[in-house]
Structure 1
Amino acid sequence: MPSPSMREMGQRIATIRRGRRMTQAELARAAFVSLATVKAIERGARSPSDDTLDSLAAALSVDPSDIVTGSTRTDSRVHAAIPAISAAISAYDIPTDTTPRPLPELDSAVGVLVQWRLGAQYARIAERAPHLLWDALAALHHTAGADRLHAAQLLAVAARSADAVAYKFGHQDLSARLVELMRWAAQQTEDRVAQATAAYVRTETFFAARAHAQGLTALEQAIDASPSPVDRAAAAARGALHMRAAVIAARARDADAAALHLGEARRLGHSLPEDAYSGTQFGPDTVRTHEVSVAVSLGQEHLQQALDVADEWTPPADMPAERQSGFWIELARAQVWAGRPDDAFESLKVARFIAPQHTREHPWAREAAATVRRLKRADAESLTSFAEWIGAV
């Protein structure tokens, strides 16, 4: 009899495949495996090897963790790659004899890294990031003029993608080093929008240290230094800074500052399409997700605001997976506080479906799952299974 994990994995592959409107034969061709292999895996009669799982995930345009939601496979791959990421940036300001990769080729590779970050595909980022960081540094040190400015942009973007992995998986020291590398590269670009994006990401270090008041000060200085929102890129960059400032002000329990910055973010968001992108996606829907984040961060007395947003709006399917799952995780926290554990569990399951590894590594998701399980200890086996998966028991 197929094991539950094999059966669940097969069902998940089939669900994702159907969502992509692919036949089993089309998936087999795209993954370079036999049709018999796909059929056996989907019905739970066979467990894919690591290479086969990677091939299927690539063919479906998902991270392997989206398929193997109950394993530590992605965790181990990420943690194994951390030393290589650290080594790649250890002497970032010292030129080497490495021959730089052609900029168009590097540009394309870094663009793929960005898409993986938006899709919370951390295993892929972790394994590819060391080489791309080396290549971006070589390009920066061995080019001049416009090419050097371009290389600096690519280095900043690559560092941000690598930081997404380090930060989410608890490597805070490495995350701080990658943020500093991103800020250094942004200064080399001579682009104030790139510098604003670096300031946005730098907030992670303040979140990690719980230095919320200091983080708010840093963000307000970055807002003052950011370019006037006279075009789409500049408006998106400034709006993102205001969103981040609203959240960290809420964490500092400064409701007035949170309201001020959220209001500015709304104003800028309404002037832009949702897909405005200047290092982070910005637009009206993104601002809505931050309304929930601000309300939850301000504490239980503001939770009704989060519940009200969720009653009338949910993130669209084309929003980046990490941001969608973040919305559901924070909503779950509000639902726990409101005495709605069943709703909280449903929100956590949605978050896991959208971005498994982001959900699994999120401390608030783990906390909410533990609370729900405690409140409903005698409830369905699926709740215990979820709590075990996320590390809440």
Structure 2
Amino acid sequence: MPDLLTELARAYHAALGPERPELAGLLVKAYRSADAVAYKFGAHDLSARLVELMRWAVPEAGDPLLSASVAYVRTETFFAARAHAAGLRVLEQALDAAPAPVAPPEIAAKGALHMRAAVIAGRAGDASAAVTHLNEASALADRVAEDVYCGTAFGPDSVKAHGVSVAVSLGDEHVGRALDIAGEWKPPQELPAERRSGFYIELARAQLWSGLPDDAFESLKVARHIAPQHTREHPWVREDASTLRRLKRADSESLTNFAEWCAAT
């Protein structure tokens, strides 16, 4: 990846005329790929730098959909800093600037921004905004097939998965909603593995908070089976595995093995 980024940057700066926007778009996509790795491994400073490089390059690409995807990814920096209210404001500005949702790519771009806005509103404790954005995402998802659009999975199933995330983000009396969703629906195989594992990681947290530690451990094991690396690096997995280990309500040996596998303290 470092060699690719270097070569794309060199080509972009050397390009003239019609090649320049195309190279800018390729550079943004490469930065996003690098950021996906950096963020998931906890290198948040590097991730924030890559996000700023995306924001620097995307205007030259002249692609509103790519700009919307950069706004979606930029939210990572607000999650990492726990600046949830500020992140919500930035996402709502991006929604105002997003192209009209007419064709599927534009519908998915706007829907993905609403999905992410719902989650960060939940983290900010703004239940009204979280529900509003989730409803907007659901309405848009009903107009497209589940697929990956401009690097982000979007569709009816993705919105349902985000319903669990929003419920867990809001906490307290909302957690039961996560259990209700999981009782009616499970993520299908067609969803990207990371999104499916994320559903079970968030469900495990809801189960743990609801006094269902054995169910929570089962959900963590399902998440591990679907996407081992994503599960192992997820901070909530380590936190919840540590809590489960203290509670000692699951099988001692298998729980200990799991906790050691994900480096839970």
Specify the alignment match of 1:379 in structure 2.
251
Specify the alignment match of 2:3 in structure 1.
131
In the alignment, structure 1 residue 173 sits paired with structure 2 residue 61: no
How far 1:291 sits from its partner (Å)?
Answer: 0.3
In the alignment, structure 1 residue 228 sits paired with structure 2 residue 97: no
How far 1:270 sits from its partner (Å)?
Answer: 0.6
Specify the alignment match of 1:79 in structure 2.
none
RMSD of Structure 2 on Structure 1 (CA): 1.2
- Retained in 2: the 8 A contact 1:193–1:234? yes
How far 1:377 sits from its partner (Å)?
Answer: 6.0
Secondary structure at the aligned position of 1:271 is classed as coil
Specify the alignment match of 1:202 in structure 2.
74
Specify the alignment match of 1:192 in structure 2.
64
Specify the alignment match of 2:21 in structure 1.
149
Identity value in percent: 66
Structure 1: distance between partners of 2:45 and 2:209: 32
- Retained in 2: the 8 A contact 1:233–1:276? no
Specify the alignment match of 2:179 in structure 1.
307
In the alignment, structure 1 residue 238 sits paired with structure 2 residue 117: no
Specify the alignment match of 2:203 in structure 1.
331
Structure 2: distance between partners of 1:288 and 1:208: 24
Query: Which whole-Å deviations, capped at 9, do the CAs of 1:89-147 have from their partners, x for residues lacking one?
Result: xxxxxxxxxxxxxxxxxxxxxxxxxxxxxxxxxxxxxxxx1122112212212223332
In structure 2, do the counterparts of structure 1 residues 158 and 337 end up closer, same or farther at CA, with 3 Å as the change threshold?
same
How far 1:164 sits from its partner (Å)?
Answer: 1.1
Structure 2: distance between partners of 1:378 and 1:346: 9
Structure 2: distance between partners of 1:192 and 1:364: 34
Secondary structure at the aligned position of 1:318 is classed as coil
Mapping of residues 41-52 of structure 1, within 5 Å: none
Mapping of residues 317-356 of structure 1, within 5 Å: 317-356=189-228
Q: Which has the larger radius of gyration?
A: 1
Moved over 6 A (4+): none
Structure 1: distance between partners of 2:44 and 2:202: 22
Q: 1:257 aligns with which of 122, 129, 134?
A: 129
- Retained in 1: the 8 A contact 2:231–2:237? yes
- Gap runs ≥5 in structure 1: 1-128
Secondary structure at the aligned position of 1:145 is classed as coil
Equivalent residue letter for 2:166: V
- Gap runs ≥5 in structure 2: none
Equivalent residue letter for 2:162: H
In the alignment, structure 1 residue 274 sits paired with structure 2 residue 164: no
Secondary structure at the aligned position of 2:255 is classed as helix
- Retained in 1: the 8 A contact 2:213–2:250? no
Structure 2: distance between partners of 1:223 and 1:313: 29
In the alignment, structure 1 residue 285 sits paired with structure 2 residue 153: no
Structure 2: distance between partners of 1:252 and 1:181: 27
- Retained in 2: the 8 A contact 1:289–1:327? yes
Specify the alignment match of 1:78 in structure 2.
none
Structure 2: distance between partners of 1:284 and 1:185: 31
In structure 2, do the counterparts of structure 1 residues 345 and 378 end up closer, same or farther at CA, with 3 Å as the change threshold?
closer
> Which moves more between the two structures, 144-153 or 345-354?
144-153
Structure 2: distance between partners of 1:331 and 1:236: 25
Mapping of residues 48-127 of structure 1, within 5 Å: none
TM-score relative to the length of structure 2: 0.97
In structure 2, do the counterparts of structure 1 residues 273 and 378 end up closer, same or farther at CA, with 3 Å as the change threshold?
closer
Equivalent residue letter for 2:10: A
How far 1:378 sits from its partner (Å)?
Answer: 7.5
In the alignment, structure 1 residue 360 sits paired with structure 2 residue 232: yes
How far 1:284 sits from its partner (Å)?
Answer: 0.6
Structure 1: distance between partners of 2:160 and 2:195: 11
Specify the alignment match of 1:216 in structure 2.
88
Query: Which whole-Å deviations, capped at 9, do the CAs of 1:233-254 have from their partners, x for residues lacking one?
Result: 1111110000000000000000
How far 1:276 sits from its partner (Å)?
Answer: 4.6
Structure 2: distance between partners of 1:223 and 1:250: 17
Specify the alignment match of 1:104 in structure 2.
none
